[in-house]
Structure 1
Amino acid sequence: MNTTALAGPLAGAARVRPDGWLATPLNTNPACAEAQARSLIYRHHPAAPGPVRCLTARYRTATFTLGDPPRRLLKRHGDEAGYLGEVLAYQLLDGERVLPALHSTSDTTRTLVVDFLHQSADIATADGFDDLIASVAAIHTAPARWDAATADTMNLWRLDASADAPAPAWVGRHAAWRHLVQLIVGAHGDTHVPLGHLDLKADHCRRRPDGRLALIDAETLRPDLTGMPDLITLAYLATTDGRTLSPRWVRQTYRRHTNHLGTQWSDAGLVGALRAFADATGLASLHAADQ
């Protein structure tokens, strides 16, 4: 088992997979990956526009622009869990308008076609970063707006259904985790499904044609991790790469947006939840999100 700590905003709270963990890695040669993509599109996404151009060809994922100029994006996963996670994100966040539009999926080939969003969203300013926080808040509170069918499907992940379940295996201090869950119940209610763990990066923030911010990578979204990793990552992003926004402002803005959408976070409760997450997981730093 690899025990190398993950670098970045969540250092200490996660582990890096060892090389070679994926049983069927994707072809990393762009020309070969592009040829494979053309064949997959012909058979499984016949309505997708052409031509196909390889954007990235990696061990675990590959992306291809479709159309000239690019109109859509083909995403291919070598990891079934990654594919299912991304499709789940689109299903759980349907109607929130925080992701690009989804056009088609193929479980057979672990591929999906979405809108290609080329315009970056500037998160260097307070207004731009506020849009990002608002999008994250919409994702964290989405379970409160699910239709009955989606809510029934996700019953297993509700906090009241998992209250007596043991803490996740990767959690080091179970008492701190239970305290975190209690604080989340106090803010969201005991029927809440704790969505979280977005892959938040400046490059993943794009503008939709209607001007709204969208996140172009949601494959890591999980219905058991809570929103704390995302709030911590937001605080980290606020002070890196030349950005000089206050982590305290990030926390307060997040609380304003989530409470507007129906939660009841107090500032003390949110600070307590951040610290409980760090205590439970061994997180190296909260990046001043609790200050």
Structure 2
Amino acid sequence: MSTTLAGPLAGAARVRPDGWLATPLTTDPAQAAAQARSLIHRHHPAAPGPVRCLTARYRTSTFTLGAPPRQLLKRHGDEAAYLGEALAYQLLEGETVLPELHSVSDTSRTLVAGFLDDPAAIDHEDGFEELIAAVAAIHTAPARWPQHTTEIMSQWRLGTTVGAPAPTWARDPAAWRELLQLTAAAHGDSHVPLGHLDLKADHCRRRVDGRFALIDAETLRPDLTGLPDLITLAYLGQVEGRALRPRWIRQAYRRHTNYRGAQWSDADLVRALTTFAKATGLTSLHGVDQ
């Protein structure tokens, strides 16, 4: 979990130091846009123009394509982040929780997806519950995977990993194994524990059809369970003046995941949350276990 930023998961994560990326991207918007045009010509020839730089950061850059913008080009400097996001689009195909994916290029570490500029407000219960429902759909997506995806991801199934050695970053290996056992009891031994989303208000958007969507999935992993996301949801429910009750968030999450095939009891979900904190050194559950 060393790639996770501190904040809602403080204590369970470490912030990477400056300079960790071997080949950082340019932070000059004009230069970034010029490089993007070249990459589009070579790797995404069907993408519309013109190209305008939205963000130019050392790790990722984003560009709108078309006037008015219709698509978004995202360029990664970090191969792991690119592979994570490309994998997320494959694993969540059909869930309608991400923008539409148009093309990818492993060579240039770039993706072209639909541009979603309509924010989805989560500062009230109805909007926040849409976010919870989207997270629940992501966490339970393995139950709806086609056979070929299930086979490709078989190494991550809980029936396989629950008996494997705990990851090196786990502070309490016994607690980590208990967490996986609780997750397997709720989702089944064939479940792949998707989780670790970069949840924030700015990533909540609406698709053209009005459905809720998340615009950033580069941090998704098939080995952390959905517990970090539930904890982050509890944190988000209390910041920026929302003050949504953590217990309400937990119950809404349990309702939406169970509707999609999970079998969490409230007692086991609370136990899994506290076990996750013990296993990782998390400093606060933000009241979601109360």
TM-score (norm 1): 0.98
Instruction: Describe the shift of the 1:181–1:116 C-alpha distance in structure 2 as closer, same or farther (beyond 3 A).
Output: same
Give the deviation of 1:163 after TM superposition: 2.1
AA in 2 matched with 1:19: D
Residue 37 of structure 1 deviates from its aligned partner by: 0.3
Letter in 2 for 1:192: H
Per-residue deviation at 1:202? Answer: 0.2
SS of the equivalent of 1:56 reads strand
Matches within 5 A, 1:151-170: 151-170=150-169
How many Å separate the matches in 1 of 2:235 and 2:126? Answer: 17
What residue number does 2:148 align with? 149
The alignment covers a number of residue pairs equal to 289
RMSD: 1.2
Correspondence 1:61-210 to 2 at 5 A: 61-210=60-209
Q: Distance in 1 between matches of 2:101 and 2:6?
A: 31
SS class of match (2:159)? coil
Secondary structure, aligned partner of 1:161:
helix
- Partner AA of 1:193 in structure 2: V
Q: Give unmatched runs, 5+ long, in structure 1.
A: none
Q: Partner of 1:210: helix, strand, or coil?
A: coil
Partner of 1:33: 32
Query: CA–CA distance in 2 between the matches of 1:67 and 1:242?
Result: 36
Is the contact made by 2:64 and 2:73 (CA closer than 8 Å) also made in structure 1? yes
Give 1:4 deviation, angstroms. 12
Query: Displacement, 1:102?
Result: 0.1
Partner of 1:12: 11
Secondary structure of the corresponding residue to residue 160 of structure 2: coil
Is the contact made by 2:6 and 2:14 (CA closer than 8 Å) also made in structure 1? no
Q: What is the Cα deviation at residue 5 of structure 1?
A: 9.5
Residue 218 of structure 1 corresponds to which residue in structure 2?
Answer: 217
* Preserved CA contact (<8 Å) 2:175 2:275: yes
- Correspondence for 2:267: 268
Tell me by how many angstroms 1:6 deviates. Answer: 4.5
Partner of 1:56: 55
Which amino acid is the alignment partner of residue 55 of structure 1? L
Secondary structure of 2:104's counterpart equals: strand
SS of residue in 1 equivalent to 2:39: helix
SS at match of 1:177: helix
Change (3 A) 1:4 1:160: closer
Aligned residue identity for 2:41: Y
Distance 1:73 1:151 in 2: 29
TM-score by length of 2: 0.98
1:194-249 per-position Cα deviation (integer Å, ceiling 9, x unaligned): 00000000000000011111000000000001000000000000010011211100
User: Structure 2 regions of 5+ residues with no counterpart?
Assistant: none
Q: Match of 2:278, as an amino acid?
A: D
